[in-house]
């Protein structure tokens, strides 16, 4: 089954299968996305980021002033979410929420955030630009 068609229960089932299944799921998401040049990506395979979501991938530019976190549906949420987290991890903003996995929409958030960062926007400006 493709990730585009997986519901929260199916994603949780994959998580329960263990490390290898979860890694395959997360790596398929990373491979789908357009990640801006100079950005890094790290997926959660066990509980490195708290273990709340079957798929959780962090993306960040080299300067590390913020990161974007993609969270899948699961026991905690029925939607895919893209969060903006400050470098100190003391501030979190929900940038976008998606009913279904759509690599184009998620990639667009990454690309737009990269452009805002290159244009000199900081955390508040990036978050604010997604509210309009």
- pLDDT of the residue at 34: 97
State pLDDT tens for residues 6-54.
999 999 999 899 889 989 999 999 999 999 999 999 998 666 666 688 9
Task: Please tell me the pTM assigned to this model.
Answer: 0.93
Adjacent-strand bridge partners of 94: 83
Q: Candidates 3.40.50.300, 3.90.920.10, 3.40.50.1110, 3.40.50.11880; correct CATH number of 3-129?
A: 3.40.50.11880
Among 91, 71, 85, which residue's Cα sits nearest to residue 25? 71
- pLDDT of the residue at 36: 98
- pLDDT of the residue at 112: 98
CB atoms within 10 A of CB 61: 18
Q: Mean pLDDT, the chain, as a whole number?
A: 93
Instruction: Look at 100 and 132; give whichever has higher pLDDT.
Output: 100
Rounded to whole angstroms, how far apart are CA atoms 58 and 116?
18
Rounded to whole angstroms, how far apart are CA atoms 9 and 54?
10
- pLDDT of the residue at 49: 66
Residue 102: pLDDT above 70? yes
Instruction: Look at 52 and 99; give whichever has higher pLDDT.
Output: 99
Strand ranges, E, within 1-132: 39-43, 56-61, 66-71, 80-86, 92-98
- pLDDT of the residue at 47: 64
Among 15, 7, 26, 28, which residue's Cα sits nearest to residue 73? 7
State pLDDT tens for residues 68-97.
999 999 999 999 999 999 999 999 999 999
Please classify residue 121 by burial: count the beta carbons closer than 10 Å to its beta carbon, then call 0-12 exposed, 13-18 middle and 19+ buried.
middle
The mean per-residue pLDDT over the stretch 51-64 comes to 92
- pLDDT of the residue at 19: 86
């Amino acid at each position: 089954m493709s990730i585009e068609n997986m519901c929260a229960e199916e994603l949780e089932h994959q998580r329960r299968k263990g490390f290898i299944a979860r890694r395959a799921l997360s790596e398929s998401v990373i491979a789908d996305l357009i990640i801006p040049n100079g950005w890094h990506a790290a997926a959660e395979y066990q509980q490195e980021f708290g273990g709340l979501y079957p798929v959780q991938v962090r993306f960040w530019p080299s300067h590390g002033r913020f990161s974007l976190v993609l969270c899948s549906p699961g026991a905690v949420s029925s939607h895919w979410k893209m969060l903006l987290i400050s470098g100190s991890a003391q501030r979190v903003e929900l940038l976008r929420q998606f009913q279904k996995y759509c690599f184009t929409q998620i990639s667009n958030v990454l690309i737009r955030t990269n452009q805002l960062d290159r244009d000199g926007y900081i955390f508040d400006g990036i978050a604010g630009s997604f509210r309009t």
